[in-house]
Chain A
Amino acid sequence: MSDAARPVWLQLASRETDLVAAVVGFGRLLRQWGVQLHAGASLVALETLRVIDLERREDFRFALCAALVHRPEDRPLFDYLFNSYWATGADRLAPPANEGLANRPVDAKRLGRDVPTEDSVEGSIGSFRPLGSSLGLSPDDGDESTDVRSARRGRVVEMADDAAGGAARAELERVATRLSSVLATRPSRRRRPDRFGPIVDPRATLRASLHQGGIPIELRRQRRRIARPRLVLFCDVSRSMDEHASLLLEFSAAVLRRFWQVEVFLFASRLVRARSTWSERTLPELRRMMPECGGGTQIGAALAEFLDGYGAALLGPATVSLILSDGLDAGEPDVLARAMERLARHSRAVIWLNPLLAQSGYEPRARGMAAALPYVDLFAPIRDARSLWELLERLRAASGSRRNRGFAIRAGASELDATQHTGAI
């Protein structure tokens, strides 16, 4: 076989340092495209290459994949970039069809030769991270010009950096903390020492008894901890929500910092899973992840997409679903009602925070909102930190002592219903 006809990695394999450089470069490329890559992944990749037969292209691909890709969402992107980066001549395959990748503005040759800088990646894919694209959201669907987009991004930043914004942010932090404790109702399987707890701790008792010649005079006791709930947050990012965007993002970010198990989904006409490491992101970065989609908000379809893709894994008796949306839905009310019914059935509680509800005179008459309402345990306005705070205080009061808070949400919600529809909170 002539050297030129051999696959590029085999040419490189004969010169160890070149292969190392190429693998490291490939790792960097993946990272730039938004594949979540941990530190040291490239080293593991090199380790795998030492033990496999490099002549087999598939083995080479699967080995790199096992070392570098750690989330199924990243897989189509990996395959695509693998084909672009490692192929030569006839080996270069067309991007996989059907993965929403075909339209991506990629110059495969350039990818193979020099690695794009952060800026050029940014420029080539619009204002999105490829995460959205790998889920089938084409980044360039939006009819907005880049100017409008960056102008809007600017506004959000401005609001966030506002001096008053700082105080509001602190307030939202506190609200999120309180929310997590109000929702914490399930007894965990873990225990903590408690003098008057109901469970005897054999280990501690035995240890203590040794000092009394092996007679357990005093029983050491423990009590179950209270488990914090899991939260799935659905954030409406359609254009009608724009004027509330700042508040919603700040609130989501605060919730993310306060709950330890949160999954965040952004939706408009489609749904995107945001990363669980969201908490480190700044506001403009969050904004960038949001799909700008035409076609109006399809809450029902987006929720159905969630239920099909993630529902079984993420929902359960420990999960509270929190929807942040104005409920202006362009889809069929039936679709929404059915999705809400499923969501309610598989969650411990469904909370819907609606910014429109904070405006006086609003009644949830929009067809979509009306269809969804029967399945919502708690329907409340979100106007500012203050209003949320008051809401939580009422919830807590309504649910009584810490111990019977199992029914907090459902019981609290009915009590609040009366006041809510007059917009009193």
Chain B
Amino acid sequence: MTHVIRDIDEVEGFLAKSGYVADREIATALFLAMRLRRPLLVEGYAGVGKTEIAKALAEALETDLLRLQCYEGLDAAAALYEWNYAKQILRIRMEEGSTLSATEKESTIFSEPYLLARPLLEALRSPLRSPVLLIDEVDRADEEFEAFLLEVLADWQITIPELGTVRAEHPPYVVLTSNRVRELGDALKRRCLYLWIGYPTLAKEMAIVKSRLPGVHEDLARQICRFVESLREIDLDKRPGVAETLDWASALVELHQDHLTPEIVQATLGCVAKSKRDVERIGELTPELIRRAAG
């Protein structure tokens, strides 16, 4: 470890430095996760910046970010390690005609050089300092994987049958994110600290836009954020997150706009509306929404 985080103010400081606009609650949860060495489970709507937390953390600690993207059917081979079969077969070929016994051959090809480390194993083997391990969308993996994950998170060690036990010298900081596709198991939740990130307040969202897009016009930022805020209240198939706000704002900045007009909203609607029905619906309401955003 290069430096020890002493208090929540320091966390707020480094988050701000890396451009992540966080409120006190986020900073507190992150601080506790680091100090207590507990995994942090972050839940929230799509596009509110769950993944960004881990990135900001890694940046602040000047350490590696290892990311494990979960999906249905993810298994230990994809998350932990796999043997390099092609290399193993080549090795067996080379050994042809040698006097080695089958057991000896076996121990040769099931050894370190033939191992392909996947994110979880990488995180445990980090040589110099604790990395940040991001386990993204853990709710997409199934329960079997969750149970397996729990084992790793509990002991910071895993056993590879052919090689023996790998124990982490520098246990990673773990951030798990979930979209609540399903309720996670109690055992996993029990191990984690929990943070829910909702949609940001108007002030916070504007701060995010301005921090990410320093060139944005003040009025435009306010109008965009107000517009998106009202969008979240109407009946849409997919409500826009902060990610959509940022996409839209950067599109408008590219187009050298300093305020919203019905034409420009119509032309750039694809940044915030993600289905045909939503496009139509927002299209109908655009004049009203612009009036509200400008007012």
Which residues of A does B touch, CB under 8 Å? 38-41, 44, 47-48, 51-53, 58-59, 62-63, 65-67, 69-70, 72, 75, 188-190, 202-203, 206, 209-211, 213-214, 216, 227, 230, 260-261, 263, 275-277, 304, 307-308, 310-314, 316, 318, 342, 346
The reply to whether the CB of B92 lies closer than 8 angstroms to some CB of chain A is: yes
Question: Quick one: which of A51, A189, A311, A316 contacts B73, CB cutoff 8 A?
Answer: A189
Q: Please name the residue on chain B nearest to A207 by beta carbon.
A: B106
Give B74-118 interface residues, CB cut-off 8 Å to A.
74-75, 77, 83, 85, 88-89, 92-93, 95-96, 102, 105-106, 109
Question: Quick one: which of B43, B77, B102, B143 contacts A260, CB cutoff 8 A?
Answer: B143
Question: Quick one: which of A41, A63, A313, A342 contacts B237, CB cutoff 8 A?
Answer: A342
Question: Quick one: which of B46, B73, B180, B235 contacts A188, CB cutoff 8 A?
Answer: B73
The CA-CA distance from A203 to B110 in the complex, in Å, is 11
A192 to nearest B CB, angstroms?
A: 11
Q: Tell me if A38 and B186 are in contact (CB < 8 A).
A: yes
The reply to whether the CB of B52 lies closer than 8 angstroms to some CB of chain A is: no
The reply to whether the CB of B238 lies closer than 8 angstroms to some CB of chain A is: yes
The reply to whether the CB of B219 lies closer than 8 angstroms to some CB of chain A is: no
Q: Tell me if B196 and A38 are in contact (CB < 8 A).
A: no
Q: Tell me if B196 and A312 are in contact (CB < 8 A).
A: no
The CA-CA distance from A138 to B144 in the complex, in Å, is 39
Interface string of B205-242 (1 = CB under 8 A from A): 00000000000000000000000000000010111000
Q: Tell me if A52 and B105 are in contact (CB < 8 A).
A: no
Which of B8, B45, B239 has the most CB atoms of chain A within a 10 A radius of its CB? Answer: B8
The CA-CA distance from A51 to B102 in the complex, in Å, is 56
Question: Quick one: which of A70, A75, A276 contacts B182, CB cutoff 8 A?
Answer: A276
Q: Which of B24-32, B58-66, B243-251, B262-270 contacts A (4 or more CB under 8 A)?
A: B24-32
B140 to nearest A CB, angstroms?
A: 10
The reply to whether the CB of B193 lies closer than 8 angstroms to some CB of chain A is: yes
Q: Tell me if A41 and B190 are in contact (CB < 8 A).
A: yes
Q: Tell me if A51 and B182 are in contact (CB < 8 A).
A: no
Q: Tell me if A62 and B43 are in contact (CB < 8 A).
A: no
Can you give 5 contacting A-B residue pairs, CB < 8 Å?
A38-B186, A48-B36, A190-B142, A206-B89, A312-B239
The reply to whether the CB of B151 lies closer than 8 angstroms to some CB of chain A is: no
Q: Tell me if B189 and A38 are in contact (CB < 8 A).
A: yes
Question: Quick one: which of A63, A69, A72 contacts B32, CB cutoff 8 A?
Answer: A63
Q: Tell me if B190 and A38 are in contact (CB < 8 A).
A: yes
Q: A38-B186, A188-B72 are in contact. List 17 more A-B contacts (CB 8 A).
A: A38-B190, A48-B32, A52-B28, A66-B28, A66-B194, A66-B195, A67-B193, A75-B196, A188-B73, A203-B85, A206-B88, A210-B102, A214-B92, A230-B182, A304-B235, A312-B239, A318-B72
The reply to whether the CB of B179 lies closer than 8 angstroms to some CB of chain A is: yes
Q: Please name the residue on chain B nearest to A228 by beta carbon.
A: B142
Contacts of B95 in A (CB 8 A): 214
Q: Tell me if A209 and B46 are in contact (CB < 8 A).
A: no
The CA-CA distance from A215 to B271 in the complex, in Å, is 55
Q: Tell me if B235 and A312 are in contact (CB < 8 A).
A: no
Which of B71, B95, B190, B195 has the most CB atoms of chain A within a 10 A radius of its CB? Answer: B190
Question: Quick one: which of A38, A263, A308 contacts B235, CB cutoff 8 A?
Answer: A308
B38 to nearest A CB, angstroms?
A: 7
The CA-CA distance from A276 to B29 in the complex, in Å, is 26
Contacts of B35 in A (CB 8 A): 51
Question: Quick one: which of B28, B41, B74 contacts A63, CB cutoff 8 A?
Answer: B28
Q: Tell me if B183 and A276 are in contact (CB < 8 A).
A: yes
Main secondary structure of the interface of A (DSSP, over half): helix
Contacts of A72 in B (CB 8 A): 43, 196, 198
Give B148-203 interface residues, CB cut-off 8 Å to A.
179-183, 186, 189-190, 193-196, 198
Contacts of A213 in B (CB 8 A): 96, 102
B138 to nearest A CB, angstroms?
A: 13
Contacts of B258 in A (CB 8 A): none
The reply to whether the CB of B7 lies closer than 8 angstroms to some CB of chain A is: yes
B259 to nearest A CB, angstroms?
A: 30
Given A52-B28, A210-B106; A313-B179 close (CB under 8 Å): yes
Given A40-B190, A70-B189; A227-B72 close (CB under 8 Å): yes
Q: Please name the residue on chain B nearest to A342 by beta carbon.
A: B237
Which of B31, B46, B194, B195 has the most CB atoms of chain A within a 10 A radius of its CB? Answer: B194
Contacts of A210 in B (CB 8 A): 92, 102, 105-106
A418 to nearest B CB, angstroms?
A: 33
Q: Please name the residue on chain A nearest to B190 by beta carbon.
A: A38
Contacts of B194 in A (CB 8 A): 65-67, 69-70
Question: Quick one: which of A38, A41, A214 contacts B96, CB cutoff 8 A?
Answer: A214
Question: Quick one: which of B83, B182, B193 contacts A44, CB cutoff 8 A?
Answer: B193
Q: Tell me if B106 and A189 are in contact (CB < 8 A).
A: no
Given A44-B193, A53-B7; A312-B238 close (CB under 8 Å): yes
Q: Tell me if B83 and A189 are in contact (CB < 8 A).
A: no
Which of A47, A261, A310, A313 has the most CB atoms of chain B within a 10 A radius of its CB? Answer: A313
Question: Quick one: which of B25, B32, B43, B93 contacts A52, CB cutoff 8 A?
Answer: B32
Given A38-B190, A41-B190, A188-B73; A51-B32 close (CB under 8 Å): yes
Contacts of B237 in A (CB 8 A): 307, 311-312, 342, 346
Question: Quick one: which of B24, B105, B179 contacts A59, CB cutoff 8 A?
Answer: B24
The CA-CA distance from A41 to B192 in the complex, in Å, is 10
Q: Tell me if B32 and A39 are in contact (CB < 8 A).
A: no
The CA-CA distance from A311 to B96 in the complex, in Å, is 59
Q: Tell me if A189 and B190 are in contact (CB < 8 A).
A: no
Give B1-59 interface residues, CB cut-off 8 Å to A.
7-8, 24-25, 28-29, 31-32, 35-36, 38, 41, 43, 45-46
Question: Quick one: which of A189, A202, A209 contacts B71, CB cutoff 8 A?
Answer: A189
Q: Tell me if B24 and A206 are in contact (CB < 8 A).
A: no
A133 to nearest B CB, angstroms?
A: 19
Q: Please name the residue on chain B nearest to A189 by beta carbon.
A: B73
Contacts of A304 in B (CB 8 A): 235
